[in-house]
């Protein structure tokens, strides 16, 4: 089972600066860090069996999780859905403790005598006194050190017993943007005009633009272009030299202005499509350690 197989991290600024992501797994428990000086939008799906506890309290600026504003005492999880949607502006510093759902349910049963704790919530409160405990356990797991099962299970149970259930209603702009992104991804191989996208959503172009600017400080056109660049970059890294040319990959997305696209690609990734195509699959121009894409197993 792939760990983060369909997670997309989209930088919301002009140039990529520095990404760092490290992952260590210890049986059914793992830890990861994700840091960058940029604003970032993280969307995608997590495996059914993987249950994350994410802490963004060291990030600077505004953090959102499924459209809800976060504070330094918030823990994010995926709830009962595998889809995740988070935005952090200005500086990202996310610390993950990852656990298989099977082991988490075992902890719940051992600690509470039943499995009635509701895992459907996406956000939980973490007390000030538990933040250093979380960060210490995260660092130890990341360093592949043995941690106390009682200490870990007690912490996770304390978090799960403090769900944040009263969240403000999602703004119409957030809902509109999510619907737009769904349509963009569904039609990524047949790019839509922004005017067509607006018509499909039943709004005028200006309304859609204002919604994207409010959500990401980007126009829908710029967001669309960055998502497309991301899709192409992934295809270029995956390709086998004998199976697909750069031209054929770009044609899948109806991109035929090669020189113009190549310039946009170079400005965004600081590498040309040809240079990306020569990278091994495990290398990533963002600079993070792609051990995170390894299998989450119990051996």
Per-residue pLDDT tens digits for 7-30: 777 877 655 445 555 565 556 888
pLDDT tens digits, one per residue of 184-202: 989 988 888 999 999 999 9
Q: In angstroms, what CA-CA distances link 79 with 34, 75, 136, 193?
A: 20, 11, 24, 34
DSSP 9: E
Q: Is the pLDDT of residue 299 over 50?
A: no
- Which one is predicted more confidently, 284 or 109? 109
Architecture of the domain spanning 8-168: Sandwich (2.60)
Across the range 213-237, mean pLDDT stands at: 87
Say yes or no: do domains 8-168 and 175-277 share a fold.
no
Q: Where are the domains of the chain?
A: 8-168, 175-277
Strands 8-11 and 74-76, bridge-based pairing: unpaired
- At the topology level, CATH places domain 175-277 in Arc Repressor Mutant, subunit A (1.10.10)
How far, in Å, CA of 93 to CA of 83, rounded? Answer: 20
């Amino acid at each position: 089972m792939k760990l983060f197989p369909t997670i997309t991290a989209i930088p919301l600024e002009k140039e990529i600066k520095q990404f760092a992501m490290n992952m260590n797994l210890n049986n059914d428990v793992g830890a990861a860090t994700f840091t960058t000086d940029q604003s970032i939008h993280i969307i995608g799906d997590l495996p059914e069996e993987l249950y994350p506890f994410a802490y963004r309290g060291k990030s600077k600026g505004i953090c959102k999780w499924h459209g809800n504003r976060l504070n330094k005492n918030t823990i994010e999880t995926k709830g009962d859905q595998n889809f995740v949607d988070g935005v952090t502006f200005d500086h990202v510093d996310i610390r993950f403790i990852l656990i298989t759902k099977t082991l988490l349910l075992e902890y719940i049963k051992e600690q509470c005598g039943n499995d009635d704790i509701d895992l459907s919530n996406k956000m939980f409160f973490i007390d000030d006194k538990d933040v250093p405990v979380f960060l210490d356990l995260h660092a130890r797991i990341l360093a592949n050190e043995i941690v106390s099962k009682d200490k870990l299970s007690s912490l996770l149970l304390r978090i799960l017993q403090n769900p944040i259930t009263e969240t403000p209603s999602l703004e119409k702009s957030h809902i509109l943007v999510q619907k737009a992104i769904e349509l963009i991804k569904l039609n990524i191989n047949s790019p839509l005009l922004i005017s067509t996208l607006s018509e499909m959503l039943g709004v005028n172009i200006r309304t859609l633009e204002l919604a994207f600017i409010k959500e990401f400080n980007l126009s829908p056109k710029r967001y669309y272009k960055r998502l497309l660049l991301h899709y192409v970059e992934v295809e270029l890294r995956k390709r086998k030299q004998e199976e697909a040319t750069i031209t054929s990959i770009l044609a899948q997305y109806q991109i035929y202005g090669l020189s113009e696209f190549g310039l946009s690609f170079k400005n965004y990734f600081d590498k040309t499509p040809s240079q990306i195509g020569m990278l091994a699959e495990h290398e990533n121009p963002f600079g993070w350690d792609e051990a995170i894409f390894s299998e989450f197993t119990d051996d």
